[in-house]
């Protein structure tokens, strides 16, 4: 990449939490980047404001409620992801809806700054294959994976073991029965991050950390035995990275997605940026670590087991989780039923190998059907 030529950026999911944070980062680097496309899933008002401020060549809403001047329909995600003026696709769509754009962008040789971890979880091999075939590359936006990449890039060596940190979510200190009956308002109150509703619920069940273990497996090519998780309530250390000689590096910072977003845009370069709160160990205070309480957060082990099983099982886990989270947010199931629905799907569905795109889509559809049935809202 030529550092003097502004790089074209497409933001998919521009109206969400990561999308808005990305525009805040780009605002500070208008000479480095040019916003070519802004695509939202909903929220016409926010999109209209973004379009007025950035005047992208392409903009649109995916959902049906859009009126002129925005084109609508899922095809605009892949159109934006493959637009000839786009160098970097920041995929901040939530859920399975982000998969096609990730694949299309990689096949078109783009850098994908990936917040949409669900793409990699559903179809990790296919995503890697698309990158090889088209010459595209994936750079993670997820803070833990950005931490791993930053340590590995600084070292110029491949990690041999990872320890991803988890805040533990809003229910870290709660007892089992209280967690099972938690309300949506309680589950959405994340202690250290402000995020969209789906990932907030995933953080409360720890399903998010299972998605991240699978994400790390595909991003860094490490076996599941070499990817561990530790609860770290302060969210200051984002990951520990062990190298073959036993040395461990970690990446630190006050919780903010703006740094991992900026790094995903610039990797392996670093830009001068005053937007991120300066680190101060005294303000950060004591850093503590504890194990995951598996009996209270069964979604984590279910997700990691699906990752280890491979084939289309991770896609089944992802779909089951998406349906369960939606059912919980709609008031149809209690919080404690989210892992129950996931478990019902994983024990009833058959995995297929190899996980072709057709097999992934079929598993996604079937897992959603079983999950709706298990959630009692079919």
Residues that bind Mg ion (CB under 5 A): 142-144
CA pair distance 138, 105, nearest whole angstrom: 10
- Could you say which of 7, 9, 10, 13 contacts ligand NAD (CB under 6 A)? 13
Contact 89, 101 (CB under 8 A): yes
Q: How far is the CB of 201 from ligand NAD (least distance, A)?
A: 11
Binding to ligand NAD in span 238-257, by CB under 6 A: 257
Q: How far is the CB of 148 from Mg ion (least distance, A)?
A: 11
What is the rounded (10 degree) CA torsion for 317, 264, 24, 256? 70
**By C-beta, is 78 or 200 nearer to Mg ion?**
200
Contact partner at residue 97 from ligand NAD, Mg ion, none, CB < 5 to 8 Å by partner kind: ligand NAD
Rounded to 10°, the helix 337-348/357-374 angle is 130
Stretch that binds ligand NAD, among 51-59, 128-136, 147-155, 191-199 (CB under 6 A): 191-199
Q: Does 62 bind ligand NAD (CB under 6 A)?
A: yes
Binding flags for ligand NAD, 318-357, as an x/- string (CB under 6 A): ----------------------------------------
Q: Which of 198, 202, 215, 206 is nearest to 121 (CA)?
A: 215
Contact partner at residue 8 from ligand NAD, Mg ion, none, CB < 5 to 8 Å by partner kind: none
Contact partner at residue 321 from ligand NAD, Mg ion, none, CB < 5 to 8 Å by partner kind: none
Q: How far is the CB of 245 from ligand NAD (least distance, A)?
A: 31
**By C-beta, is 143 or 296 nearer to Mg ion?**
143
Contact 368, 317 (CB under 8 A): no
**By C-beta, is 13 or 314 nearer to ligand NAD?**
13
Q: Does 41 bind ligand NAD (CB under 6 A)?
A: yes
Torsions phi, psi of 332, nearest 5?
A: -85, -25
Contact 86, 10 (CB under 8 A): yes
Q: Which residue has the tokens 């402000």?
A: 194
Strands 248-252, 161-166: pairing kind: unpaired
Cα 250 to Cα 159, 214, 216, distances in angstroms: 12, 20, 15
> How far does Cα 266 stand from its chain's mean position?
18
Binding flags for ligand NAD, 86-125, as an x/- string (CB under 6 A): ------xxx--x-----------------xxxx-------
Q: Mark out the alpha helices in the chain (DSSP H runs).
A: 17-27, 44-54, 75-81, 99-107, 117-134, 143-155, 176-180, 184-187, 197-205, 207-220, 258-266, 281-284, 298-309, 313-329, 337-348, 357-374
Q: Does 147 bind ligand NAD (CB under 6 A)?
A: no
Q: Which residues bind ligand NAD (CB under 6 A)?
A: 13-19, 40-43, 62, 92-94, 97, 115-118, 142, 193, 195-196, 198-199, 257
């Amino acid at each position: 990449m030529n550092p003097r030529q502004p790089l074209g950026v497409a933001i998919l999911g521009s109206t969400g939490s990561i999308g808005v944070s990305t525009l805040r980062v780009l605002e500070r680097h208008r000479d480095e980047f040019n916003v070519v496309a802004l695509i939202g899933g909903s929220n016409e008002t926010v999109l209209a404001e973004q379009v007025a401020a950035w005047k992208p060549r392409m903009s649109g809403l995916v959902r049906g409620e859009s009126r002129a001047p925005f084109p609508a329909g899922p095809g605009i995600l892949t159109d934006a992801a493959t637009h000839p003026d786009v160098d970097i696709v920041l995929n901040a769509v939530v859920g399975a809806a982000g998969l096609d754009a990730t694949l299309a962008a990689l096949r078109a040789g783009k850098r994908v700054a990936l917040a949409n971890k669900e793409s990699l979880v559903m179809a990790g091999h296919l995503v890697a294959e698309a990158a090889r075939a088209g010459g595209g590359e994936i750079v993670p936006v997820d803070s833990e994976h950005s931490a791993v990449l930053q340590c590995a890039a600084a070292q110029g060596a491949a990690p041999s073991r990872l320890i991803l940190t988890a805040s533990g979510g809003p229910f870290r200190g709660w007892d089992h029965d209280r967690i099972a009956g938690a309300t949506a308002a309680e589950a959405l109150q994340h202690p250290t991050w402000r995020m969209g509703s789906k990932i907030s619920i995933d953080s409360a069940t720890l399903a998010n950390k299972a998605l991240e273990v699978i994400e790390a497996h595909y991003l860094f090519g490490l076996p599941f035995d070499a990817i561990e998780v530790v609860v770290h309530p302060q969210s200051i250390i984002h990951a520990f990275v062990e190298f073959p000689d036993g040395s461990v590096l970690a990446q630190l910072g006050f919780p903010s997605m703006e740094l991992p977003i900026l790094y995903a845009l610039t990797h392996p370069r670093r830009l001068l940026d005053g937007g991120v709160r300066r680190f101060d160990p005294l303000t950060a205070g004591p850093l503590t670590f504890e194990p995951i309480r598996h009996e209270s957060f069964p979604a984590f082990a279910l997700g990691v087991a699906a990752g280890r099983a491979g084939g289309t099982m991770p896609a089944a886990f992802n779909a089951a989780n998406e349906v369960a989270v939606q059912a919980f947010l709609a008031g149809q199931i209690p919080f404690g039923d989210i892992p129950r629905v996931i478990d019902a799907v994983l024990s009833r569905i058959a995995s297929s190998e190899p996980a072709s795109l057709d097999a992934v889509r079929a598993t996604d559809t079937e897992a959603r059907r079983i999950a709706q049935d298990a959630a009692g809202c079919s």
